[in-house]
């Protein structure tokens, strides 16, 4: 129910309909086609500020990934400012190489909250399993 409210609110404020919305690390992400990002953000960020004031959470508007070839920049935008070394696709599995232990811990999160959020996002967008090494 909350998902529908957020999507309807986003549509009313930005005048852009999207089906893609998710929450990662307390930030609400809306995915729109790349050519509509500036319209969705609004003049001087007006739409993002309005959404932030109503929802009460940080808002990010990002481009919709068009396929597996866009998976690395997609994940990079979501987990920023945390960095990672590499992303590999092996069969039905997506493997993210974190690098050092601090980045790995930040990507997994306390009680594996961020890991489970990212697993759901990757499964919804790409239909693959996700793990961090």
Mean pLDDT of 97-104: 90
Q: Is 2-63 CATH 3.30.300.20?
A: yes
pTM, entire model:
0.90
**Taking the domains of the chain in order of start, what are their residue ranges?**
2-63, 68-132
Q: Please indicate whether the domains covering 2-63 and 68-132 agree at the CATH topology level.
A: yes
Give whole-number Cα distances, 117 to 36, 59, 109, 112, in Å.
26, 16, 10, 9
Output the pLDDT for position 1.
81
Output the pLDDT for position 99.
85
- The tokens of 54 are what? 């109503």
CATH superfamily of the 68-132 domain: K homology (KH) domain (3.30.300.20)
Mean pLDDT of 37-65: 94
Residue 67 pLDDT greater than 90, yes or no: no
Contacts of 60 (CB under 8 A, 6+ apart): 27, 28, 29, 30, 77
């Amino acid at each position: 129910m909350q998902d529908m409210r957020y999507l309807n609110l986003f549509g009313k404020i930005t005048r852009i309909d999207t089906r893609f919305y998710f929450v990662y690390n307390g930030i609400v992400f809306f995915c729109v086609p790349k050519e509509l990002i500036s319209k969705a953000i609004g003049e001087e960020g007006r739409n993002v500020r309005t959404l932030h004031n109503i929802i009460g959470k940080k808002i990010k508007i990002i481009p919709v990934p068009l396929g597996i070839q866009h998976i690395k920049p997609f994940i990079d935008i979501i987990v920023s400012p945390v960095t990672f070394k590499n992303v590999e696709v092996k069969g039905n599995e997506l493997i993210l190489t974190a690098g050092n232990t601090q980045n790995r811990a930040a990507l997994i999160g306390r009680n594996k909250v961020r890991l489970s959020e990212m697993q759901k996002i990757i499964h919804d967008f790409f239909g693959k399993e996700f793990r961090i090494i």
